[in-house]
Amino acid sequence: MIVVMKKSATEEIIQSVATRIESLGLKAHVIVGTERTVIAAIGEKRDGEAETLSGLDEVDKVVPILAPYKVASLETKEEPTTVRSHDLVMGGGHVGVIAGPCSVENESQILESARAVKAAGATGLRGGAFKPRTSPYSFQGLKEEGLKLLAAARDETGLAVVTEVMTPQHVDLVSRYADVLQIGARNMQNYHLLQAVGESDKPVLLKRGPSAAMDEFLLAAEYILDQGNPNVVLCERGVRTFETHTRFTLPLATVPFLKERTHLPIVIDPSHGTGIATLVPPMAAAAIAAECDGLIIEVHPNPSEALSDGAQSLTPEQFSDTMNRCRAIATAIGRSI
């Protein structure tokens, strides 16, 4: 890393910083500029030395050179990771589409949803059984009963079930029914939960936190990978900005940016990313054009009756049209859904 000294730093202080750097097992290389001195610390690791050094007297700033993540990095593994479950395949040129309602509400709703999204070409089924809700007074999901309904829908349709797990104690329970464990945006930095799914043998769909920087997102994945679970899918679902006309701001540049840094597949959630049903189809199409590895889209047989997220859910017909549009684009750029 590069340690930039303040202009006022004396030679003695510069020397003491260099000594401190060497005490961390690094090699200090002092470069005297015309107005400032900087010290290159060679042999940088990834464990918080930068933070320590930035607290030293007369240090202006510390600039890390290495990315802080390892296992997720393209520098560690060059070939793209492909995550599979049943017919759902994401990564390595395959675009997987996961669709279904925000919450599992009852048997007919989830079965009807599953049949519809399967017919339109989805290979994964989403649906919340344990629902993190902003208010304690909102519908919190059907819990295990919801998981059973999801499993039944998979058994009928063959769709891989993707559903959220909210707390470490539930990982075993959810794993009994689900095919892919989803970590919600609110839990992106719930490290005990990340470690728990890291010990699971199920693939994990990790949603980006609404104000997570890219390094934080990849380090959250690293918590899972570090426990031995290699099947992590990164999901961009929009970030919180000053914009209020959409529920979140959906930065599709996340896709090509991450592809230059990680081998993990990247999925886009245009439903949460916009919060408005009419904006979902064009943003789904745009995500395909940006070469994402998958989509996760909310579809409900009757959005205006939905117990949650009705405003951003597509009808089965709208979803089918969206799939057609996405397929046409994928074909045009040599990818397949």
- For a second copy, the binding residues in 135-164 under the rule CB under 8 A are 135-139
x/- map, 214-243, a second copy, by CB under 8 A: xxx--x--xx--x------------xxxxx
CB of 241 to a second copy, least distance (A): 4
Residues 16-35 contacting a second copy, CB under 8 A: 20, 29, 31-35
Beta bridge partners of 249: 239
Question: Which residue number, 3 or 160, has a Cβ lying nearer to a second copy?
Answer: 3
CA–CA distance, 19 with 203 (Å, rounded to integer):
45
Quick check: 119 binds a second copy (CB under 8 A)?
no
CB of 167 to a second copy, least distance (A): 4
Binding-site size for a second copy (CB under 8 A) equals 111
Which part of the chain contacts a second copy (CB under 8 A), choosing from 91-99, 144-152, 173-181, 310-318? 310-318
Query: Among 24, 311, 320, 321, which residue sits at the site for a second copy (rule: CB under 8 A)?
Result: 311
Helix 280-289, helix 316-332: angle, nearest 10:
20
- What DSSP element (H or E) covers 181? strand 180-183
275: Cβ–Cβ under 8 A, 6 or more apart, which residues? 246, 247, 248, 311, 312
- Provide the 10 A C-beta neighbour count for residue 31: 10
Query: Among 22, 145, 317, 332, which residue sits at the site for a second copy (rule: CB under 8 A)?
Result: 332
CA–CA distance, 312 with 204 (Å, rounded to integer):
24
Residue with token string 């994990």: 204
Residues 54-113 contacting a second copy, CB under 8 A: 54-57, 63, 65-66, 68-70, 75
